[in-house]
Structure 1
């Protein structure tokens, strides 16, 4: 279970919450332009756009959960269990394994529009990275610095690419159903609600924020979709990088999952392992973790982007507290 967003302000900020019950040793990973991306069926990319994001590095291959490239296109894979269908290889199509999808797109496309072109004859295959690392059922959100975003869903009837006016994505149900469900909450407002129930009676507005009284607050993916869409829509636009990054993380915090509230197996609880934010204009990558709320940052442009070796930074695993006395 996860949540992804594109926050459009003076700059454009892309990223997600990763919500799982286990971690994978993921690290902030920079892939420079001359690292050779080898694919199972399509030709290798010996040179490509540089990437930064969160990845599990296995056999010197970055298995990205989410990333952005130096041109300002971001992409994140979110759980889509029960719906995602990957296919056998098709000789009439461009065959890319699910674990290759992010580098295949971000290595080449500079915008959402270019990414759409790469997907026109694409077949996402069911080939595994290894016996130990089987394909995860995913769908993807993409966003770029023009402010555009799309959702990509591999369903039983084919690969669907949807324009995303909400700039958010969670998990099941499918994206069209998530949009349909928004109609149930069209009256939500950050202010006082209009009294259409009994317009001739002076109702006692006994609390602030009664306009949000029916806003979902559960951990479920449909509820999180509604809540984060509302939070993102009404988030202020910052006047500085610090304000924008702060606003962005508060939007994701509105649907973050504490430990102990989402039991996925006996005594096993899903929680927000990390939240991240990529400034699509500058290539700055921000993140925090469940163990450390302080925002950390990695600047992709301080790495040797013309190199051929991966650069990785371990995520922070202990709380940083500012003791003031």
Structure 2
């Protein structure tokens, strides 16, 4: 389970909650411009746009869950079980790319959402695992820059690239359902409600927030989608980057999973292992165990290097004692 949000304020803020019952060995990884990107069926990229994001390092290769490149293009993979479909063989007329290659393949060569859409028009998912013991994850993808957002889904009936006017993605069902489902919540408002039931009767609200009665509060993908959309679309632009980033994490908090509230069929706790926000070439994150925001700046690394730079997560709670 996951939730991804894209905002166009201040040149773009993008990020997600990663909800999982286990760690996948994640680290913040900067892939510099001269690290060779190799693909199973596509030409290599010996020089490319640099990127930063959360990844599992496998034999020295960053397998990104999400990342943003130095041009400000963001891409995230979200869990899409039962619907994601990868092809064991792809015709040569298409650009065959394995799911774990897709983020670097797009972010390494595309500066804008428009360029990414053009590149993905020829994409077909190649159902080949990275290595034995690393099975393919069932995913769909959120792609965004300062101009807007899109959703990429590969299902049995084909590859679909949808415009995303709301700037939110969660999990199942497929993306068109979430857009249709949102129509049921058009009456929600951050303002005090108006008495349309009985205008002649004094039915004054007895508390703040009653304009959003009916906003779903459970952790299902459909409910998280509606809740994230409501919070994002009512979020004001408050100016400087750090203020925007702080607000962004509060938006993610509205759809975060708390340990004990969601159990998997195996009886494990599903929780928000980390939350992140990409803004201005900086990757901000916090973990379930450490609510302090940590930042990794691309500008603070050697982007002309030929080796990825990995930063272990700060997962112990960082408390500032005043006395």
Partner residue in 2 for 1:295: 293
Deviation at 1:88, TM superposition (A): 2.1
1:315 paired to 2:313? yes
1:97 paired to 2:133? no
Partners of 1:133 and 1:102 lie apart in 2 by 17
Partners of 1:193 and 1:172 lie apart in 2 by 31
Question: After the TM superposition, which segments of 4 or more aligned residues of structure 1 sit over 4 Å from their partners?
Answer: none
**8 Å Cα contact 1:140/1:153 also seen in 2:** yes
Partner residue in 2 for 1:228: 228
**8 Å Cα contact 2:7/2:146 also seen in 1:** no
Deviation at 1:265, TM superposition (A): 2.8
Greater shift after overlay, 193-202 or 158-167? 193-202
Partner residue in 2 for 1:61: 61
- Where does the alignment leave 5 or more consecutive residues of structure 1 unmatched? none
**8 Å Cα contact 1:33/1:50 also seen in 2:** yes
Partner residue in 2 for 1:39: 39
Partner residue in 2 for 1:113: 114
Partners of 1:186 and 1:267 lie apart in 2 by 36
Partner residue in 2 for 1:140: 141
- 1:47-86, aligned counterparts within 5 Å? 47-86=47-86
User: Given the two structures, how large is their TM-score scaled by the length of structure 1?
Assistant: 0.97
Deviation at 1:266, TM superposition (A): 4.0
Q: Report the 3-state secondary structure (helix = DSSP H, G, I; strand = E; otherwise coil) of the residue aligned with 1:297.
A: strand
- 1:268-307, aligned counterparts within 5 Å? 268-279=268-279, 282-307=280-305
User: Given the two structures, how large is their TM-score scaled by the length of structure 2?
Assistant: 0.98
- Where does the alignment leave 5 or more consecutive residues of structure 2 unmatched? none
The superposition leaves residues 155-187 of structure 1 with CA deviations (integer Å, 9 ceiling, x where unpaired) of 111110011000010001111110100111110
Deviation at 1:131, TM superposition (A): 1.4
Partner residue in 1 for 2:16: 16
**8 Å Cα contact 2:97/2:126 also seen in 1:** yes
Count the aligned residue pairs. 322
Q: Report the 3-state secondary structure (helix = DSSP H, G, I; strand = E; otherwise coil) of the residue aligned with 1:198.
A: coil
Across the aligned residues of Structure 1 and Structure 2, the Cα RMSD in angstroms comes to 1.0
Partner residue in 1 for 2:125: 124
Partner residue in 1 for 2:264: 264
